[in-house]
Homo-oligomer: A and B are copies of this chain.
Amino acid sequence: MAHAETDVTPITTRTQALEWLRQMLLIRRFEERSAMLYQNGKIGGFCHLYSGQEAVAVGSIGMLREDDYVITAYRDHGHALARGMDPKAGMAEMLGKAAGCSKGKGGSMHFFDAENNFLGGHAIVGSHIPLAAGVAFAAKYRGGDQVCLCYFGDGAMDQGALHEAFNMASLWKLPVIYYVENNFMSMGTHLHRHSCLMDLTIRGGTAYGMPGTAVDGNDIEEVARVTKEAIDRARAGEGPSFIEARTYRFRGHSMSDPMKYRTREEAEKARERDPIILFESLLKERGWIEESAIEELHDAIKQQIDDAIEFAAEAPEPPVEDLYNDITVAPHIPQE
């Protein structure tokens, strides 16, 4: 490509783009099947699906190095898979099996994957936001240039923990990138009923002297582009950034949400901006993939998830005695 075209150079290579498409499809399929397993009573507890928001996790985590860190809230399947978690381990966790990514102790809301520097999966709204600052603090303390990417929803903007962490992250110029995935809903409460301002870049950026950038969260390459800027800034020691990715969740808040607050029209219209379809179109336009290859990809992923489910279904339950393991590094002495 000639240098005159620099401004339209895609942020990604073809290889990476195809990998991103694969990841988005993997996440989508993983969750569609999870929904079915939930309805059949195979998955318990709370289960929050990421469908519709895949471009945010994939496009941003895609810009990280292996030694960087990722942490997120309870809507965590997407981030875990984008970070390289084996879907078998994820699916086994959903079924509460010993082979699960958290040995069956965490469940859907608490995916962890130390090998991929994926630090969970956190279910108390806002409570992991200080942890992310701590991870970034550690990176800086050790003198490295790793960064930490931290995700949360628009509802978490209203938790005090965010406020405290943001102030310190900015004050100490910690290499953390805070990502609000603004799907405009905190459970059944629309942004305009829970947030004093509609522009979250003011609440998360301006308010703390951090750069605050809004991005179309369904446009994976835009997500990647703004993330890269923030990562570069963090690695250069210039401190944290705040990114507001505007997006839409296709499903209910959790599996038990009847979504009475939405019209069918709204939901259908949102599907037109499905980030996967948008990206498939773009890649086809750009000549990076053909329709037939897309179909092959879909099939391969179907197979991969089928395999994951089979693996998970057949995996053994953890022994009940495992209850007392993994509490502390020192032997746990039950206080009974």
> For residue A126, which residue of chain B has the nearest CB?
B160
User: Which of B160, B161, B202 contacts A207, CB < 8 Å?
Assistant: B202
CB-defined contacts of A193 to chain B, threshold 8 Å: 171
B interface footprint on A202-222 (CB within 8 Å = 1, 0 otherwise): 110011111000000000000
Residue from the set A162, A166, A207 with the largest chain B CB neighbour count within 10 Å: A207
Q: Determine the distance from Cα of A181 to Cα of B99 in the docked complex, in whole angstroms.
A: 56
Whether A167 sits at the interface, judged by CB under 8 Å, is yes
User: Which of B157, B160, B162, B194 contacts A159, CB < 8 Å?
Assistant: B160
Shortest CB-to-CB span from A184 to chain B, Å, is 15
CB-defined contacts of A161 to chain B, threshold 8 Å: 160
Pair B158/A164 contact, Cβ less than 8 Å: yes
CB-defined contacts of A203 to chain B, threshold 8 Å: 207-208
User: Which of B160, B171, B207 contacts A164, CB < 8 Å?
Assistant: B160
Whether A163 sits at the interface, judged by CB under 8 Å, is yes
CB-defined contacts of A171 to chain B, threshold 8 Å: 193-196
Shortest CB-to-CB span from A129 to chain B, Å, is 10
Q: Determine the distance from Cα of A193 to Cα of B207 in the docked complex, in whole angstroms.
A: 17
Whether A170 sits at the interface, judged by CB under 8 Å, is yes
In the complex, chain A residues 154-204 whose Cβ is within 8 Å of any chain B Cβ = 157-164, 166-168, 170-171, 193-197, 202-203
New A-B pairs, 11, CB < 8 Å, besides A158-B167, A170-B196, A196-B209: A157-B167, A159-B160, A160-B161, A162-B163, A168-B196, A170-B197, A171-B196, A197-B208, A202-B206, A202-B209, A207-B207
8 example contacts (A-B, Cβ-Cβ < 8 A) are as follows: A158-B163, A158-B164, A158-B167, A159-B164, A162-B163, A163-B164, A167-B195, A197-B209
